[in-house]
Amino acid sequence: MSIFRRARGGLGRVSAAEAATRTGHGNAAASGADAVLLDVREPDEWQAGHAPGAVHLPLPRLAAGAALPAHAQARPVVVICRSGNRSRQAAEILAARGSQAVDVIGGMREWADAGLPVVDTLGGNGTVR
């Protein structure tokens, strides 16, 4: 089953492990990973810790009409935030714009709890706020 398939009554949601597989992160990395991981948290949250290689676009900017970076366009998108609320909103916005988008259940908290990599803006060990 594709992770980009809609769940009954709404957008698709994936676990942190499924997100890691689709985006090529950590022990769950897959050579065929094609999705981009989009982090929609605020700048201070991003700076404290994010998944390596993720794209950062805060939800308010996305909601105001900001586009995904060129390398992320026309690719499936896995959206993540701290706990899953903002990412759900972002996935809905992206889907309305025609993107294939799912959000990560439990967000970066679940990502970190699953032992997946989190780095700060200097490339050191990051934390999730």
Do you know the residue count of the chain? 129
Give the Cα-Cα-Cα angle 87, 42, 88 (nearest 5 degrees): 10
User: 74's torsion region: left (phi>0), alpha (psi -120 to 50) or beta?
Assistant: left
Q: Which of 36, 81, 101, 102 is catalytic?
A: 81
Amino acid at site 88: R
3 state DSSP class of 38? strand
Whether residue 81 lies in the annotated active site:
yes
Asked if 55 contacts 36 with a C-beta cutoff of 8 angstroms, the reply is yes
Q: Give the separation between CA 90 and CA 126, rounded to whole angstroms.
A: 23
Active-site positions?
A: 81
